[in-house]
Structure 1
Amino acid sequence: MSLLLRVLTADPPLDPSGDEAHSLLRRELAHPEYHDGNLFLRLLDWLDRELNGLIDSAADTPPLSAFAAIVAFLLLGLALAWLLSRARRTARAAARPGPVVEDSTVTAAQLRASAERALAEGRNGAALVDGFRALTVRQVERGRLDDRPGATAREVAGALASTYPDQQVPVSSSAALFDAVRYGDRPATRDQAADVLALDDALAGHR
């Protein structure tokens, strides 16, 4: 309420204008510090400082006009903060690793065939993902890996590293690539996809 009373009793005009305030807000939000920490609280703190400056510099504009401009400025900032916060939450949710195998009825041979077909067609990301899935299911079929529905790539890599200690590095690397491509929307190269398929072959032939 104290902020509203200050606005209604001040003698504006606002300096800067509404358009200039919008431009200032856009430039402020482009600063990297708004992408770290609590974005919403940082923006509110900046808006509070800017609004106090506008109120203190008011001189000639009627109070109601000043009040309307300040409210519009504040609402714009809150809307942008909400959109940016939602975008960050969505990005974090999308990047959270999920299960390796989503269809428990698919076989290793089917997944391997799908991976090889994708690689031949230049769909490197799909080839890498299905290749790691084929590797996982094959090890389950061979009894070298427990059948754990919903297991993540990191969990699969941890189990396989214990079973195949000499393959720990390529297994961990392949698991990280799987998460990055499948859940992080990262692109994959042909060599990366081919390496996962080669690892499947190496583990399948391991005694």
Structure 2
Amino acid sequence: MYHENDPNPLQQALNAFWEWVGDLFDSASRATPGGVVGLLIVVLVALALVAALWWRLGTPSPRAAPSDALFDDRPRTAAQHRRAADDHAAADRWNQAVQERMRALVRSLEERAVLDPRPGRTAGEAAAEAGRDLPDHAEPLRSAARAFDDVAYGGRSADQAAYQRLADLDTAVQQTRPRSAHGAS
């Protein structure tokens, strides 16, 4: 039989939980240099790291993670990718425009034999490989690959300026003669 002086089971569970939290905090503050202040600093640093990661990687998306492959299953020419990119840009769909322009750039390098065609290649891999034969464009290629990854997989949004940088790089790379015999035009 329940008496008013007996704590109810829910209250007992809450009391036990808060006692456990208090013991945990006391133990942690004794183990941390600087005691409670040191523990507070450790917690703040951990929260700052989580916030930095959240800012850099963006809000987690509930959708299934896409493949890291740069191209889908439909083989298209560089010119077809450029037309698709221009169409997206004309409609202010900057994310899709950036993705298609990066695909155009990589496909163009494959068509010119600067890169060997390879299914499943990522944007980062393409940039690293192309940068060896096009050293003047190595850093812009890496930046373009990061922009592609940020948009395609990182949940970031592109803008007109990001697209224009990629389009300018694509044009410049088309006009550049590769350094090695592998990428002779």
State the TM-score, normalizing by the size of structure 1. Answer: 0.57
Contact kept? 2:101, 2:166, Cα under 8 Å: yes
Tell me what 2:149 maps to.
179
Deviation at residue 146 of structure 1 after TM alignment: 1.0
Residues 92, 103 of structure 1: CA spacing in aligned structure 2 closer, same or farther, 3 A cutoff?
A: closer
The answer for unaligned runs of 5 or more in structure 1 is 1-10, 22-48, 54-87
Contact kept? 1:161, 1:167, Cα under 8 Å: yes
Q: Which of 12, 16, 29 lines up with 2:7 in the alignment?
A: 12
Residues 89, 197 of structure 1: CA spacing in aligned structure 2 closer, same or farther, 3 A cutoff?
A: closer
Instruction: Tell me the distance in 2 between the aligned counterparts of 1:153 and 1:197.
Output: 15
SS in 1 for 2:128: helix
Deviation at residue 92 of structure 1 after TM alignment: 10
Contact kept? 2:81, 2:104, Cα under 8 Å: yes
Residues 1:190 and 2:160 aligned together: yes
Residues 17, 186 of structure 1: CA spacing in aligned structure 2 closer, same or farther, 3 A cutoff?
A: farther
State the TM-score, normalizing by the size of structure 2. Answer: 0.64
Instruction: Tell me the distance in 2 between the aligned counterparts of 1:97 and 1:150.
Output: 9
CA RMSD of aligned residues (A): 3.2
Contact kept? 1:104, 1:149, Cα under 8 Å: no
1:70-109 alignment, distance < 5 Å: 94=65, 98-109=68-79
Residues 139, 125 of structure 1: CA spacing in aligned structure 2 closer, same or farther, 3 A cutoff?
A: same
Residues 92, 154 of structure 1: CA spacing in aligned structure 2 closer, same or farther, 3 A cutoff?
A: farther
Instruction: Tell me the distance in 2 between the aligned counterparts of 1:107 and 1:135.
Output: 10
Tell me what 2:54 maps to.
none
1:107-186 alignment, distance < 5 Å: 107-186=77-156
Deviation at residue 132 of structure 1 after TM alignment: 0.1
Q: Which of 50, 53, 56 lines up with 2:17 in the alignment?
A: 50
How many aligned residue pairs are there?
135
Contact kept? 1:112, 1:134, Cα under 8 Å: yes
Quote the sequence identity (%). 34
Output one character per residue of 1:148-202: Cα deviation in whole Å (capped at 9) or x when no partner: 1000111001101101111111100000010010111210010101111111111
* Structure with more of its chain in helix, by fraction: 1
SS in 2 for 1:150: coil
